[in-house]
Structure 1
């Protein structure tokens, strides 16, 4: 009998949640076959079998949190497909006997502990925290939590254990009231849905970005007439030549790269007491999926032409929708672009994608009456732009001028085409 374990996934991934079992008990699988899909903080990962055989037991089900090394099932290398899991009792066992009184008491105690254990599972906690709580015999529901999302972490368990030693009687009594306060009861119907691991990670990182950065947002507007006219003139030839459509994102990506070259601190990050100013341009493009927002990265966007940018954005978007993104697709971006305009947003204040120090928000294009330089009034397709930036690195003057530079490049896009 072989154990099905969670293998080493990647350097930055040590835990996950079982999203879906791809096999069931009795299935015959070959070595290398995918057997389970894990949802991690960043991407979904398929775990492949290390052995050939028949699945005899699934120990941890869908929705269970796991970490590297955990045993999630068992496999019989000599089993036959369709064979049921082994029963713990032999078929020719004697007729059922009445349990002894001491066994009855043990069963009652066991059932009492089961509801208690069920309540513990309602607590949001990392697998490492659950493991440490078992080792220290700490009730997870009685652990004070510092995480803004209410997730129990190993250090919280350690602190609770330390507090229990110092004040064994007084400390745990206060926690149930706090837990009850967090879970508000309603008189009218509600539905409680457990947050996915990725949604919890997104929420945590957005809160961290607001807590750890001095984030400000500056706004401007861009006249999209020239870009729209250029697209209309070139779109058919562009598709015939390159096999991809000429969209807005390539113009904005190229404009961002041009502005970053003029204002390099928007392409930097803070590491300790140092500024790391990056001399490469890996631009993250935010993509909305059913599981939440992901930000795949267009590598070396400064070296790609318009067709290369459009092709890369199209490929990454397709992979995101099909849940095929790899960790390498998401790591190492230097600046991010997000487009709320595709959902109809007129204006927003995008949140930084830490550790980056700048993010550009695109919005809906609306026709508005604009006063022209000669004081005439024309109807123009206008878009509001928003730049959120980390004021610890970027001064307001540079942020405003960065956004003005993007506006200039988009309102006269022929330079972008020549440089692109």
Structure 2
């Protein structure tokens, strides 16, 4: 449409699209008023929509997955233990030289005789029972205002599976030989990894052993397996310089941690228990003589 001279100036100065302006003048002529109206309309027009966002990546940055029933049970029980017990951890370290030498000397004959490998866990089970006999409080549990002292030694052994940590129980471990302990732990570990553990395999333990050392843990504060009053944390065996009889020697050392319920077990009892475990591992003959 033709533009009036005054409209032409407004269109040029404001870079309007003359073809989009409807003229109201004679023969459709675009007047100054038409140009000003178009300028005002452009000013009041909503902003052009932003360019559409790029589509989301196929691999999302987070994902929501419902916890398995096992993981929910583990979470609930751990939190209950933390809320109920007056939990405390004490530490010691153990020289593994004697047990390692014993194992190296007899491992081939042991496997040939019993059909199972001789590991460190059987020595620790024996050492723990030795300690529990000296400090019965660590093998007890609270029931209301009573303390129940257990005269049996059912040792829970923590086992990591792809679905979470479970603690099957080795029954009457005090009556088992080293080979019986190794076979029992091996069978429970296989059931755990195959998802074949029954409820009775997990109930009724009096004390628990957890071995974070197999994953490389140097030190930890294990959490109690309620309603038990003690749990021993084993850790990685690492060579360290130690002072022995005034000389610096390299020894394979392991940190031990005992978490315990201070409502039942006092500090002296906890330290005594850990010392008994240390002594039994450093001098395995003690286990034979029960001293």
Once the two structures are TM-superposed, the CA of residue 190 in structure 1 deviates from its matched residue by 1.2
Superposed counterparts of 1:246-395, under 5 Å: 246-373=118-245, 375-395=246-266
- Report what 1:405 is aligned to: 276
* Deviation readout 1:325-364 (Å, 9 max, x if unpaired): 1112111000000000000000000000000000000000
- Specify every segment of 5 or more residues in structure 2 that has no aligned partner in the other structure, as ranges: 1-59
- Report what 2:30 is aligned to: none
- 1:396 equivalent to 2:267? Answer yes
* Deviation readout 1:147-192 (Å, 9 max, x if unpaired): xxxxxxxxxxxxxxxxxxxxxxxxxxxxxxxxxxxxxxxxx82111
Following the alignment from structure 2 to structure 1, what is the Cα–Cα distance between the partners of residues 62 and 240?
43
SS class of match (2:220): coil
8 Å CA contact 1:362, 1:384 repeated in 2: yes
Following the alignment from structure 1 to structure 2, what is the Cα–Cα distance between the partners of residues 197 and 319?
18
Once the two structures are TM-superposed, the CA of residue 416 in structure 1 deviates from its matched residue by 2.2
Following the alignment from structure 2 to structure 1, what is the Cα–Cα distance between the partners of residues 209 and 66?
30
8 Å CA contact 1:251, 1:416 repeated in 2: no
SS class of match (1:206): helix
Superposed counterparts of 1:187-198, under 5 Å: 189-198=61-70
Look at both structures and tell me which one has the larger radius of gyration over its CA atoms: 2
Following the alignment from structure 1 to structure 2, what is the Cα–Cα distance between the partners of residues 218 and 256?
15
* Deviation readout 1:17-53 (Å, 9 max, x if unpaired): xxxxxxxxxxxxxxxxxxxxxxxxxxxxxxxxxxxxx
Following the alignment from structure 1 to structure 2, what is the Cα–Cα distance between the partners of residues 328 and 389?
24
Following the alignment from structure 2 to structure 1, what is the Cα–Cα distance between the partners of residues 99 and 287?
11
Following the alignment from structure 2 to structure 1, what is the Cα–Cα distance between the partners of residues 287 and 182?
14
Following the alignment from structure 1 to structure 2, what is the Cα–Cα distance between the partners of residues 324 and 207?
25
Following the alignment from structure 1 to structure 2, what is the Cα–Cα distance between the partners of residues 208 and 272?
15
8 Å CA contact 1:295, 1:330 repeated in 2: yes
The answer to which structure, 1 or 2, has the higher relative contact order (CA under 8 A, 6+ apart) is 2
Once the two structures are TM-superposed, the CA of residue 395 in structure 1 deviates from its matched residue by 0.2
Q: Pairwise CA RMSD of aligned residues?
A: 1.0
8 Å CA contact 1:219, 1:384 repeated in 2: yes
TM-score by length of structure 1 reads 0.54
Looking at secondary structure, tell me which structure has more helix per residue. Answer: 2
TM-score by length of structure 2 reads 0.78
Once the two structures are TM-superposed, the CA of residue 371 in structure 1 deviates from its matched residue by 0.5
Following the alignment from structure 2 to structure 1, what is the Cα–Cα distance between the partners of residues 274 and 244?
21
| Count of aligned positions | 231
Following the alignment from structure 1 to structure 2, what is the Cα–Cα distance between the partners of residues 418 and 301?
18
Once the two structures are TM-superposed, the CA of residue 204 in structure 1 deviates from its matched residue by 1.2
Once the two structures are TM-superposed, the CA of residue 236 in structure 1 deviates from its matched residue by 0.7
SS class of match (2:117): coil
